[in-house]
Structure 1
Amino acid sequence: MKLNELTLTNPYLQLPAEFYDKVVPTPLADPYLIHANPDVAKILDIDEEELQSDTFVKFLNGEYLARGSEPFAMCYAGHQFGQFVPRLGDGRAINIGTLGKYHLQLKGAGMTVYSRHGDGRAVLRSSIREYLMSEAMQGLSIPTTLCLGLIGSEHQVRRQEIEKGAIVCRVSSSWVRFGTFEYYAHQGMFEELKALADYVIDENFPHIKGREDHYTLLFNEAMVITARLMAQWMSVGFNHGVMNTDNMSIAGLTIDYGPYAFLDDFRHDHVCNQTDVHGRYSFSNQPEIAKWNLKSLMMALSPLTTMEKLEKNLAIYDKIYMRYFHYYMCKKLGFEGTVEGDPELIDDMLDMLESLQVDYTLFFRTLSHYEGDRNALLATGLYHEPMHAWLDRYDERIKHIDATERKEQMLSTNPKYVLKNYMLQEAIDAAEQGDFSVVDDLFKIAQDPFDEHPEFERWAGATPKEFKNRKLSCSS
């Protein structure tokens, strides 16, 4: 389909007027294409050749509005670092319409009524980070928002210093957040709250529509997919960094990529956000923070059902999370299923990785090739004896598992590459000089992180010492 043949719809605008504010995008000056995503274009049924057209750049810049588009910003509230903020909203994201079941959004296309003291812009570095990480999570089969394309410009944007402005076109099956429900519950707008719940059920959970007590079922669906998402994050060593309730997707997606990080050396309490001085959103806290956020969602949904029913659902969160976590970790270890003793083996392995300062991704990829010779694994840590002791137990666990099948499972589960922050910074540094080749390279890795990619071997090892465990700001 050509861009001039697109017809967008706006189902969210069928909700009451309190849910949104219409807005006109403010284009960047002299935009240029940095990257386009043909896989997402295919999902949207947009012809691949359209991605290199001037019209595509104008589409991403908010200059060209497709037929049916009625741009708007969404209203929501949220708990930010545990403190409730009654009115937030899309401060630098503008929804331009829906294509099929996917909602398109321009991030960085100018101010909205929710921008508060912000300028509604996104800078090049943060846009590159979101664009690449969305694709990386997709490549890892972790639920995520997607990106259709990325444009840059010479448009000046002030952050800590003057930076170049950019816009990323984000694509998602839902932009509704936990904080969206909190807004209407806090305002006492229970009819609007009910309308929102019905909209979300229609859009994301149609299998529960019309069932008895479907609002309780809605919470249960959100609880289960959130528990699964946390287990997936933890299994690949992903630290989101800003798990406010306005950054939590009701559809169980990873959204709003800011100061995230994949672990370098394994640390339970790694903090990737320099604003997070108390470690609220540390790596190890993520499952518990998700539960805290679900409790906030539970409170918001309580006018539609009973607290007793909602609490009964939340009470099984820990059990569901641990089942998912052990499932994903056992796959990483090459096990056919979970047996008695596996949780302890996993916990002791993680403690061992931390004590030996072992690179998380490198360890599992190396273990995927393990056939009895320990030298490669021992080389990943500072000392040998703790790993020897753990490998003795691992050898006992895998002795009845077919070695070929185990290796095949592990190589398809443990990525050789994840997009660590030093790699992304290399892409950003080059892009700021007008060189987008590193963006192209990292995009290839993101699409297939399990492939060998011999041309990118320099990124397959442990993070260089000078780049390890750096914290980033929320503006990232």
Structure 2
Amino acid sequence: MNENRSIQDVGWNFDNSYARLPHVLFSPLNPTPVRAPELVVLNDRLAAALGLNADALRTVERVEELAGNGLPEGALPIAQAYAGHQFGGFTMLGDGRAILLGEQITPQGERLDVQLKGPGRTPYSRGGDGRAALGPMLREYIISEAMHGLGIPTTRSLAVVSTGQPVIRETHLPGAILTRIASSHIRVGTFQFAARWGAPEDLRALADYTLQRHYSDALQADNRYLALLQGVIRRQAQLIAKWMLVGFIHGVMNTDNMTLSGETIDYGPCAFMDAYDPGTVFSSIDSRGRYAYGNQPPIAAWNLARLAEALLPLLDEHEDRAIQLAEDALGAFAEQYRSFRLAGMRAKLGLFNEEQEDESLVEELLSEMQKSGADYTNTFRALTMGIGASETPSPSPALPNTADFHAWREKWQARLARQAAAPEEVRRLMQRSNPAIIARNHRVEEALEAAEQQGDFSVLHRLLAVLEDPYAYSTEQEEFAILPEPSSCRYRTYCGT
């Protein structure tokens, strides 16, 4: 009786507004059933935020739904069509291994996409099997929740379910399906698709829908479509600045992986930087460093230019005027990004006010970190922990031990002395701005190896627990700040998600 009641009270509250858009933008279809689904991990906190009963989601019937063997009440599954520039080359794409079940309306009235990743082939699979492996799905779960803990706008992971059947890549791997939650899955590539293969009214319908869903304030603007472009540019400038401030490298910043909501999406060949180096690349498929850490801001601007091109017919009926409006809007990106990044760097250094030389103070530190091979996260962590210490604290091994760094540190301390904030206020600001830990690559791999090879998920759960609040500076986090042993092999990530 109790189980039946929990099943009934799961809390799904679906709407399907995207499925009411022109049909060229999607294909209706159901997931392909799997053999023996089992729940691997469930995000209880996210479930509660969605208005869902986590206990109900753990029942056999609901796990079947999370695996695509059934549909939650009210779901209307579709695969979304989109295009994209992948490493600079334009191609037709679409949800090749993802199906949107619909949109959950939360108790707070928020509309969030519920998508299954790995539920089988779709019309956009391009010869693929539409399935996903357990390791990459757990990796997305870890990294997306780590990004959420860091305060970075991101898609999130509700659950991972194993399928009981293998997927074939270079070898046989255990299959899995991830339930992804997003403000929406509208991408720059969605607009590229509509502009290339849709009718003018399809592009307009998509733009109006995006405005209503993500930029409703812009609906009253004199030129709502220009306001849409300006809003997306600003959100992306802020998002990329937040990435850079924590040393995150996306790895595959194709236009189909840039959302108009301003959330990070796609956690395939991504990772967090250890030693500071703007040229850092982890992705196995990024042989030329197109999406290296230091290239992320200009690549974001390049992607936004592709969005502007798609929106040109809506910006103005005269092409020359439309191009000028788009160029003016795009021209704001660089300064917006610079402003967001500098504000974040001031906070990381405990600066409450602004001085003209702050930017050079930041760049001098980063230059010294690069020359010394200093760890990005641990450098700022050590600076944070040193605030309020004795006059002559023991030098932290995380900090460069060079004359140039010591000279920089004296300059920084003089800068701190010129503001009114007390040391404890400075420390609190720095602690809120500098994570004590990140999802370090070796820790992520350790959790995935234990899960995939030993069926041991305790390592995964322990990692997830400390990543919930990376700014806690707790004793439990100490061991997760330890760097990996030196290796002769460069760390590589793969596009498994």
TM norm structure 1: 0.96
Match of 2:342 in 1: 326
Structure 1 residues 382 and 337: CA distance shift in structure 2, 3 A:
closer
Kept in 1: contact 2:24–2:198 (CA 8 A): no
The separation in 2 between residues aligned to 1:195 and 1:188, in whole angstroms, is 10
- Secondary structure (helix, strand or coil) at the match of 2:152 reads coil
Task: Report if the CA contact (8 A) 2:14-2:102 is conserved.
Answer: yes
- Report the Cα distance in structure 2 between the residues aligned to 1:148 and 1:4, rounded to whole angstroms: 19
Post-superposition offset of 1:2: 5.1
| Partner SS, residue 127 of structure 1 | helix
Alignment of 1:24 onto 2:45: no
For residues 467 and 7 of structure 2, the distance between their equivalents in structure 1, rounded to whole angstroms, comes to 26
Q: Secondary structure at the match of 1:465?
A: coil
Tell whether 2:298 aligns with 1:288.
yes
How far is 1:310 from its partner? 1.6
Task: Please name the residue that 1:362 is paired with.
Answer: 378
Answer whether contact 1:27 1:109 (CA < 8 A) is retained: yes
Superposed displacement of residue 435, structure 1: 0.5
Q: Could you tell me whether the CA contact under 8 Å between 2:7 and 2:59 is conserved in 1?
A: no
| Corresponding position of 1:96 | 101
Alpha-carbon distance in structure 2 between the residues aligned to 1:7 and 1:223: 32
Please say if residues 379 and 399 of structure 2, whose CA atoms lie closer than 8 Å, have aligned partners that are also in contact: no
Q: Distance in 1 between matches of 2:393 and 2:488?
A: 27
Q: Does 2:206 match 1:196?
A: yes
User: Cα offset for 1:468?
Assistant: 7.9
Instruction: Indicate how the Cα distance of structure 1 residues 17 and 2 shifts in structure 2: closer, same or farther if over 3 A, else same.
Output: farther
Q: CA deviation at 1:445?
A: 1.7
After TM superposition, give the deviation of residue 56 of structure 1 in Å. Answer: 2.9
Structure 2 match to 1:385: 403
Structure 1 residues 188, 456: closer, same or farther in 2, change over 3 A? Answer: closer
Rounded to whole Å, the distance in 2 between the matches of 1:67 and 1:51 is 13
User: The residue matched to 2:39 in structure 1 has which SS?
Assistant: strand
What CA distance in whole angstroms lies between the structure 2 residues aligned with 1:328 and 1:234?
Answer: 10
Paired position in structure 2 for 1:394: 412
1:84 corresponds, among 84, 87, 90, to 90
Q: Secondary structure at the match of 2:294?
A: coil
Pick aligned residue for 1:436 from 444, 457, 482: 457
Alignment pair present for 1:123 and 2:122: no
> Could you say which residue in structure 1 is the equivalent of 2:483?
462
2:55 to 49, 54, 59: 49
Q: Secondary structure at the match of 1:106?
A: strand
Deviation at 1:381, TM superposition (A): 4.9
SS at match of 1:200: helix
My pick for the range that moved more, 279-288 or 329-338, is 329-338
Counterpart of 1:61? 67
- In 1: Cα distance, 2:428 partner to 2:392 partner: 18
Letter in structure 1 aligned against 2:224: H
Secondary structure of the corresponding residue to residue 363 of structure 1 = helix
Which of 258, 281, 284 in structure 2 is aligned with 1:271?
A: 281
Equivalent of 2:430 in 410, 413, 425:
410
Cα distance 1:467–1:227, how it changes in 2: closer, same or farther (>3 A)? farther
Is the 8 Å Cα contact of residues 78 and 178 (structure 1) preserved in structure 2?
yes
**1:374 Cα deviation (Å)?**
5.6
- State the Cα distance separating 1:392 from its structure 2 match: 1.4
Structure 1 residue identity aligned to 2:95: D
Aligned-residue Cα RMSD (Å) equals 1.6
Contact 1:263 1:469 (C-alpha < 8 Å) held by counterparts? no
Q: TM-score, normalised by structure 2?
A: 0.92
> Which blocks of at least 5 consecutive residues in structure 1 are unaligned?
none
The aligned runs of 1:135-174 (5 Å cut-off) are 135-174=145-184
- Structure 1 Cα separation of the partners of residues 393 and 201 of structure 2: 63
CA distance in 2, matches of 1:72, 1:437: 35
* 1:36-56 per-position Cα deviation (integer Å, ceiling 9, x unaligned): 111211121012322332233
Q: Distance in 1 between matches of 2:300 and 2:350?
A: 28
User: Which residue number in structure 2 is paired with residue 312 of structure 1?
Assistant: 328
For the residues of structure 2 that align with 1:204 and 1:465, how far apart are their CA atoms? 45
What is the CA–CA distance in structure 2 between the aligned matches of 1:332 and 1:113, rounded to whole Å? 47
- 1:272, distance to aligned residue in structure 2 (A): 1.2
1:3 deviation in Å?
A: 5.1
Which residue number corresponds to residue 21 of structure 2? 15
Q: Taking every aligned residue pair, what percent have the same amino acid on both sides?
A: 37
Q: Which residue of structure 2 aligns with residue 218 of structure 1?
A: 228
Structure 2 unaligned runs (5+)? Answer: 106-110, 316-321
